[in-house]
Amino acid sequence: MSPRNLPTGFPYIIIILVTHKLHPLSVYRIFQSWISPDVKEWRTQLKIGVPIGFAIFFETSIFAAVTFFMTAYDTNTIAAHQAAINFASLLYMVPLSIAFTLTIAVGFEVGAERQKEAKTYSYLGIILAVSMSLLAGLILYLFDDTIAQLYSTDDTVIELTKNFIIYAIFFQLSDGFGAPLQGILRGYKDVNITLVMAFISYWGIGLPSGYLLANYTDFGPYGYWLSLTIGLTAGAITLLIRMLIIQRKKLHAH
């Protein structure tokens, strides 16, 4: 029988058997030591996880909304926008990874009541993420032509992509500052106010400003890219203020 013709659940059966029967996985007795579900613990995790999920949604969805508004322009503009946003998103993975790391590191120190160490990790993470974003901005500036040519051979699209990349440098820096702050606040389990800040910054300030700049100024499609910088910068500033307030409270309480 060809592997493609195997029943859909067959690989999972093999995984279960290996986990249950073979050493060293069998020593963990995964299918023998059952733990009753703890509804209270589920509720605790959901109270943290759901606001985090919506905060991420509000941030990432603004990029989708900008792409939607870009459909008002010609094909070359849409193609250039997509090329520039794709490469900028690739570079954003570095500060995003630092943010995830900060959530773990800061949360661990806060849980151990080591508030000074949590603060130290916070600033180290911010400095590292901003430094990497500065490097990313430098890469975008120096290699804008090379980057644009990775996505198209059309001269018009290449030129438009280079223009978008210039705007990408600025929101890259804002993102590099805001992303670690989000990770830090999640480490402090401060997620509800962060959710509200994200919604106001991205959808209350960022996107409306982009619509105004694109339709009532000479910026045109670049107005939406300016709005990304405006929204991300507003979010970063409010997150920084929130982090400073929380850290001050924690240190005084300690």
For 207-248, the pLDDT digits (tens) are 999 999 999 999 999 999 999 899 989 999 999 999 999 999
Residues 30 and 44 in one domain: no
CB of 20 closer than 8 Å to CB of 31 = yes
**Which pLDDT tens digit goes with each residue over 130-171?**
999 999 999 999 999 999 999 999 999 999 999 999 999 988
Position 2 scores a pLDDT of 44
First to last CA, the chain: 65
Residue with the two structure tokens 């849409």 = 78
pTM of the model: 0.82
Residues 115 and 229 in one domain: yes
CB of 145 closer than 8 Å to CB of 165 = no
Residues 29 and 91 in one domain: no
The CB density around residue 66, as the number of other CB atoms within 10 Å, is 23
Residues 117 and 166 in one domain: yes
Residues 190 and 215 in one domain: yes
**Which pLDDT tens digit goes with each residue over 61-94?**
888 899 899 999 999 999 999 999 999 989 999 9
Pick from 186, 54, 57: nearest CA to 125: 186
Give every CB contact of residue 82 below 8 A, 6+ residues apart in sequence.
67
Residues 69 and 20 in one domain: no
Domain range enclosing 79: 38-253
Residues 44 and 29 in one domain: no
**Which pLDDT tens digit goes with each residue over 9-63?**
677 788 888 887 777 877 777 777 677 778 888 898 899 999 999 998 998 888 8
Region at 6 (left for phi over 0; alpha for psi -120 to 50; beta for the rest): beta
